[in-house]
Amino acid sequence: MSAPVNEQVEFNVAPGSVVHVRDEEWLVTGVEQTGDGLLIRVRGLSELVRDTTAAFYKSLDKIEVVDPAEAIPVADASPNYRRARLWLESTLRKTPIPQDHEGLTVSTRMLADKLEYQRIAVARALDPQNVRPRILIADAVGLGKTLEIGMILSELARRGRAERVLVVTPRHVLEQMQHELWCRFALPFVRLDSAGIQKVRQTLPATRNPFTYFKRAIISIDTLKSARYKAHLQKIRWDAVVIDESHNLTNAGTLWELAFRVPVLRALAVQPGAGPGAHNVAGPGPCCCQGCGQAPGSGAPRAVLHVQHGNA
C-alpha cells in the first residue's frame, strides 16, 4: 500500500539536507529510488557518527528532515554582541583560502621567531606544483624542526588541507610535541596511545575504529608497531602524516604504506652535521640521499628526493 499523497509531499530530502536518524544527525549525500523504496545515503555529523557513511531506507527507518524554515532566531544577549562576533570570526578563520595562494598566512603570526630557513621549508611544502609533498626535515638538534612542522600544518589547515592529521612520535617526546603544537600553533591533537584508545573505546561501539572519533591524533611509534592498531590506522584517509625522529625507524614497510595513502607526508630526523635548511624535498622515484640504506637507482619505491639548500 502506497503512502498518502500528503506524506510524500512533506518528505522533501535532497543531497545537502540534514536529517535525524536513530538519534543521530546526518548530512544527505545521495537519494536513490530503488525497488525496496527510497534509499538515502548519508555522512555523519554528530559526535558519535562523525564522518562515517551509512544508507537508510525510508520504509525501514524513521527519517526526520531538518527544515531550515523552522529555525528560530535567538538574540545575542552577550555584551557588545561578543558571541556573534566570535562566531563570525571563527567562521572566517575556518573558511579555506585557495590552495594555490602564494605567501604565508597564519604561520608568521604564531609564537615563534621569524627565521628564514624555516619559512623556506614551509614554502616548499606549499608549492602548488607539488601536489603530494613528501618532506624530510633533517636539521640539527635545536634548530626548530617541530616549529617548522607546526608552521606547515597551520598553513595546510588554513587552506583546508589538514582536516585529518596523524602525528607519530617516540613515547618520551609525545607529550612535548602535543604541547608545542597546541600552545604555539593552536593545533589540538588527541593523545591516542594504548591508554587513550582504551578510554575512547568506552564510549564507542565495539566495531568502531577508534581513530575515526578524533580528526587529529598523536600516537607513539610503539602504537604504530602494533598490528592491531596499524590496521585501524591504515583504514583512515589521512590528509597529512608527521613522523618524528624518523631516523630511528627500522620497519620501513609500515611508513611507506602510510606514505602512499596520504596527500602530505613529513618526516623529522636528526642529520649529523646538517645546518639550517637541510630539507629533503619529496618526489617519486628511487632514493638518492646518503645514509638511507638503499643504493641510488635501485628502483625500489621510495618517497624521498634529496634536495639541500641553506648553510648545510
Residue-by-residue DSSP string for 211-242? GGS-SEEEEEHHHHH-HHHHHHHHTS--SEEE
Confidence of residue 126 (pLDDT cuts 50, 70, 90): confident
Q: Residues 132-141: what's their mean pLDDT?
A: 75
pLDDT digits (tens, 9 = 90+) for 16-69: 999 999 999 999 999 999 988 899 999 998 878 877 889 999 989 999 999 888
Distances (CA, A) of 259 to 159, 229, 239: 21, 17, 11
Q: Go through the chain and tell me how many residues it has.
A: 312
Among 309, 283, 311, which Cα is nearest to 131's?
283
Distances (CA, A) of 94 to 159, 172, 185, 300: 9, 33, 15, 40
CB 271 within 8 A of CB 236: no
CB-based contacts of 49-55 (< 8 A; 24+ apart in sequence) = 49/24, 50/212, 50/213, 51/212, 51/215, 52/212, 53/29, 54/26
Q: Is 117 left (phi over 0), alpha (psi -120 to 50) or beta?
A: alpha
Provide the pLDDT for residue 254. 55
Among 185, 183, 193, which Cα is nearest to 218's?
193
In the chain, % of residues over pLDDT 90: 16
**Which pTM does this prediction carry?**
0.66
Q: Phi and psi for 288 in degrees, rounded to 5?
A: -130, 25
Residue scoring higher pLDDT (123 or 113): 123
Give 31's strand partners: 40
